[in-house]
Amino acid sequence: MKSRSAWAEPYKIKMVELLQMTTPAHRKKVIAEAGYNTFLLRSKDVYIDLLTDSGTSAMSDVQWAGMMRGDEAYAGSENFYHLEKTVQEIYGYKYLVPTHQGRGAEHLLSTILIKKGDIIPGNMYFTTTRLHQELAGGQFRDVIIDEAHDPDSDHPFKGNVDLAKLEALIRKHGPEKIPYVCIATTVNMAGGQPISLANLKEVRELTSRHGIRIIHDMTRVAENAYFIQQREPGYRRKSIARIVREICDLTDGATMSAKKDALVNIGGFLALNDWDTFEEARNLVVVYEGLHTYGGLAGRDMEAMAIGIRESVNQHHMHARVGQVEYLGHNLQAAGIPVVRPIGSHGVFLNASAFLPHLSQDAFPAQTLAAELYRDAGIRTMERGIVSAGRDPKTGAHRYPKLELVRLTIPRRVYTQAHMDVIAESVMRVYDRRHRIKGLRMVYEPKYLRFFQARFEPLG
Ligand code: F0G
């Protein structure tokens, strides 16, 4: 195991938020009331919250100071210009449209670029991204390498695109049916896995030949850049900022959920290099989000984001961020717990199919495991399996993803190494009694993004 000093937090704590301690009887009651869906728990009933790394990070004192410099003018806020300049400098995109969060940007982009019957290839789906593509009349196609669907593959870049799959799609449908290829850094649903620069360059070469755009889901681009620095030949001496820029420069535009990498509690944007698409987006944002110089955000939110973007590419920050996630992941691996390998950047993903092999996918193993983990010690995690995958819009049947996972997502700069130990112990306790765990059945299913609000009851 690595020594503690290998990734000690590059900050000290100025203010603390007290945690809620709960009893087993209370947890048993409230998870039943929540329909065995961790999204429906109240946060006051949660001890350690690993639901998501989205909007849950701790801001720095510099970001909080920036909040006080919020220019809350309706139009032309100074904070917008600071954010625009930062996006241009760090990411290199020319034009910026702020949005309230990532899916606001996905909505604008999908509405503008996708026509009915279009095909959108991507390195694995993300829930909101795919839904916006479908609502705009398009169909998502997965072109990620097969290794990404195998939790036991140690491939260092499981976010890579399988070029043969992409080329076959282009040949079958024609480039005019493909408005863009969606490239995520890192790939959330695969377990926080990175794409390599070598692969991205090949995707660029192929798409350029056919005049197809690359739209970058840059939600965790700095984390992806860190993995490139650590794993890809030739990048060890390059800064995270430089690698981030190299990734962005290979793409034509981006949607960003700043609630992750950029260390803010709310915010996002659409960034573009081509003027015409930007013009349309700047026009449309007024309809759905707000004026083009605030896009649903307060001035202070844009200021915190501008500062957070710079902090996100700091080497010490990223070393500690990924180091903490790896610390938890390696402890679980050492205890024989089935986890997705290699350990990703934003969380540890338990392989629920291997954890609960006696449950079929129809008994929702990952949903079941997330509920059990909550019951054990008040640790809240998230299902990323059949419930998240939803139904095929054409046939109405469940989609059966190969990955049936529970995500232990680590917020940035929030929990300590001792918390990681408590989490690992809880997972081990549940693992020890795994044979006694029964599955769930779904008793309420919403139409869109069902995982957020679905309700379950215990089987048997
Ligand atoms: N793309 C990726 C890769 C994401 O992980 C998310 C959000 C989005 C887009 C949408 O951004 O939430 O700001 O609207 N992921 C969160 C999560 C919700 O928990 O993984 P958003």
Among left, alpha and beta (phi > 0; psi -120 to 50; other), residue 224 is alpha
> Which ligand 1 atom sits closest to the C-alpha of 53?
19
* Residue nearest ligand 1's atom 4 by CA: 219
Kindly state if the Cβ of 127 falls inside 6 Å of ligand 1: no
> Which ligand 1 atom sits closest to the C-alpha of 187?
3
> Which ligand 1 atom sits closest to the C-alpha of 409?
19
Pocket test for ligand 1, best of 101, 132, 144, 188 (most atoms within 8 A of CB): 188
Q: Is 289 exposed, middle or buried (0-12, 13-18, 19+ CB in 10 A)?
A: buried
Kindly state if the Cβ of 390 falls inside 6 Å of ligand 1: no
Kindly state if the Cβ of 331 falls inside 6 Å of ligand 1: no
pLDDT at 7: 79
Answer yes or no: are the C-beta atoms of 195 and 231 closer than 8 Å. no
Distances (CA, A) of 317 to 125, 312, 322, 411: 28, 7, 9, 13
Answer yes or no: are the C-beta atoms of 457 and 364 closer than 8 Å. no
pLDDT at 20: 86
How many angstroms is it from 4 CA to the middle of ligand 1? Answer: 30
User: Beta strands of 114-220 (E only): which ranges?
Assistant: 119-122, 139-142, 180-184, 213-217
Answer yes or no: are the C-beta atoms of 381 and 407 closer than 8 Å. yes
Residue 38 preceded by cis peptide, ω within 30? no
**Catalytic residue positions?**
74, 126-127, 217, 260, 384, 451
408 DSSP β-pair partners: 348
pLDDT 10s digits, 258-300: 999 999 999 999 999 999 999 999 999 999 999 999 999 999 9
> Which ligand 1 atom sits closest to the C-alpha of 268?
13
Pocket test for ligand 1, best of 257, 266, 383 (most atoms within 8 A of CB): 257
Cα 236 to Cα 257: distance, rounded to the nearest angstrom: 27
pLDDT at 128: 95
- Long-range contacts of residues 22-25, Cβ cutoff 8 Å, at least 24 apart: 22/47, 22/378, 24/375
Cα 437 to Cα 440: distance, rounded to the nearest angstrom: 10
pLDDT 10s digits, 403-417: 999 999 999 999 999
Answer yes or no: are the C-beta atoms of 83 and 96 closer than 8 Å. yes
pLDDT at 5: 53
pLDDT at 318: 97
What residues in the chain have per-residue pLDDT under 70?
1-5
* Residue nearest ligand 1's atom 16 by CA: 54
Distances (CA, A) of 116 to 119, 321, 358, 392, 437: 9, 41, 42, 17, 45
Among 198, 200, 144, 188, which residue's Cα sits nearest to residue 169? 144
How many angstroms is it from 259 CA to the middle of ligand 1? Answer: 8
How many angstroms is it from 329 CA to the middle of ligand 1? Answer: 22
Residues in the chain: 460
How many angstroms is it from 24 CA to the middle of ligand 1? Answer: 31
pLDDT at 460: 80
Degrees (nearest 5) of the Cα angle 334, 422, 191?
A: 55
How many angstroms is it from 148 CA to the middle of ligand 1? Answer: 19
Give residue 184's identity as a one-letter amino acid code. A
Q: What value does the mean pLDDT of the chain take?
A: 97
Kindly state if the Cβ of 129 falls inside 6 Å of ligand 1: yes
How many angstroms is it from 260 CA to the middle of ligand 1? Answer: 8
Cα 203 to Cα 165: distance, rounded to the nearest angstrom: 11
* Residue nearest ligand 1's atom 19 by CA: 52
Determine the 3-state secondary structure of 137 from DSSP.
Answer: coil
Q: Which domains does the chain have, with CATH numbers?
A: 24-53+315-458 (3.90.1150.10), 74-312 (3.40.640.10)
pLDDT at 393: 87
Pocket test for ligand 1, best of 38, 49, 50, 54 (most atoms within 8 A of CB): 54
pLDDT at 262: 98
Kindly state if the Cβ of 103 falls inside 6 Å of ligand 1: yes
Pocket test for ligand 1, best of 50, 99, 126, 183 (most atoms within 8 A of CB): 126
Answer yes or no: are the C-beta atoms of 351 and 405 closer than 8 Å. yes
